[in-house]
Amino acid sequence: MRLGYLGAMVDARIFLDTNSFIQLRDLKDLPFATLVPDAEELILLVSPTVIDELDIAKTGTNKRKRDRARSALRLIDQASTNDGFRLLLSERRGVRVFLQLADDPAPDWSSIPKFDPRRADDRLVAETLTHGHGAQLFSHDSGPRIRARLAGVSALCPPEEWLLPAEQTDDQRKMASMQRDLEEAKNAKTQLGLRIDGVHEGIIMLPRLRLAPLRDDQIRVLINKVLCDHPAANLTAIPSSSAGALAFFASFARQTYLTEDEVKNYDHDYESFVGKVHSYFETLHERVDRRSRLCRIYTEIENIGSISARDLVFTASIEGDDFEIGSTEEEGEEFVGGVALPQPPEVPRSGVGRSWDMASLSNFRTPPNRDPTRFYWLDRPRVGEPLAALSCADFRPERIAGRNIWIYSLEEHPAPARLTVQVSAEHHAALVYVTEVHTTVDYPEWRDEMVLHLLPECVADAIRQMPD
Cβ neighbours around 103 below 10 Å, total? 12
Q: Whole-number mean pLDDT of the chain?
A: 86
Asked if pLDDT for residue 417 goes beyond 50, the answer is: yes
Split into its structural domains, the chain has a count of 3
* Distance, CA of 64 to CA of 16 (rounded, Å): 19
Would residue 132 count as lying in a domain? Answer: yes
- The verdict on 322 and 250 lying in the same domain is no
pLDDT digits (tens, 9 = 90+) for 290-308: 999 999 999 999 999 888 9
CATH number of the structural domain spanning residue 307:
2.60.40.10
Residue range 94-114: average pLDDT? Answer: 92
Examine residue 176 and state whether it is found in any structural domain, yes or no.
no
Using the predicted structure, report yes or no on whether residue 350 has a pLDDT greater than 70. no
pLDDT at position 314:
95
Does 65 share its domain with 156? yes
Question: Residue 334 domain-assigned?
Answer: yes
pLDDT at 6: 40
Together in a domain, 388 and 291: yes
Structural domain for 394, as ranges: 192-212+287-350+371-465
Per-residue pLDDT averaged across 279-288, rounded? 95
| Residue 204 sits in the same domain as residue 225 | no
The C-alpha atoms of residue 450 and residue 452 are separated, in whole angstroms, by 6
| C-alpha distances out from residue 249 to 73, 236, 253, 259, 351, Å | 64, 18, 6, 15, 11
Q: Determine contact, residues 298/404, Cβ cutoff 8 Å.
A: yes
Q: Are residues 132 and 255 in the same domain?
A: no
Q: What is the pLDDT of residue 177?
A: 74
d(CA 319, CA 151): 56
Contact 168, 180 (CB under 8 A): no
In this structure, are 420 and 460 located in the same domain? yes
Tell me if 185 is assigned to some domain.
Answer: no
Confidence band, pLDDT 50/70/90 cuts, at residue 309: very high
pLDDT in tens, 384-398: 678 899 999 999 999
pLDDT, tens only, 42-51: 999 999 999 9
Helices 260-282 and 284-291 sit at what angle, rounded to 10 degrees? 70
Q: Pairing relation of β-strands 155-156 and 136-138?
A: parallel
Q: Say if residues 214 and 449 touch (Cβ distance below 8 Å).
A: no
Among 264, 283, 302, where does a domain finish? 283
Q: Are residues 206 and 222 in the same domain?
A: no
Question: For residue 275, is it within any domain?
Answer: yes
Q: Which of the listed residues 259, 283, 307 is the one where a domain comes to its end?
A: 283
Same-domain pairing of 77 and 15: yes
Tell how far CA 303 is from the center of its chain.
Answer: 25
In angstroms, the Cα distances linking 203 to 196, 293, 405, 419, 438 are 11, 17, 15, 10, 7
Q: Do 322 and 294 share a domain, yes or no?
A: yes
> Do 244 and 300 share a domain, yes or no?
no
Q: What is the CATH number of the domain that holds 62?
A: 3.40.50.1010
> Residue 34: which residues within 8 A CB-CB, separation 6 or more?
none
Residue at a domain's end among 283, 312, 330 = 283
| 310 and 449 part of one domain | yes
Residue 81 in this model has a pLDDT that exceeds 90: yes
| Residue 202 included in any domain | yes
In one-letter notation, the amino acid at residue 357 is D
| Sheet arrangement for strand 203-209 | 199-200, 203-209, 428-442, 417-425, 309-319, 387-395, 376-379
In the chain the first and final C-alpha atoms are separated, in Å, by 26
Q: Please indicate, yes or no, whether residues 341 and 458 belong to a single structural domain of this protein.
A: yes
Residue 310 lies in a domain: yes
Let me know if residue 357 belongs to a domain: no
How far apart, in whole angstroms, are the C-alpha atoms of residue 344 and residue 353? 26
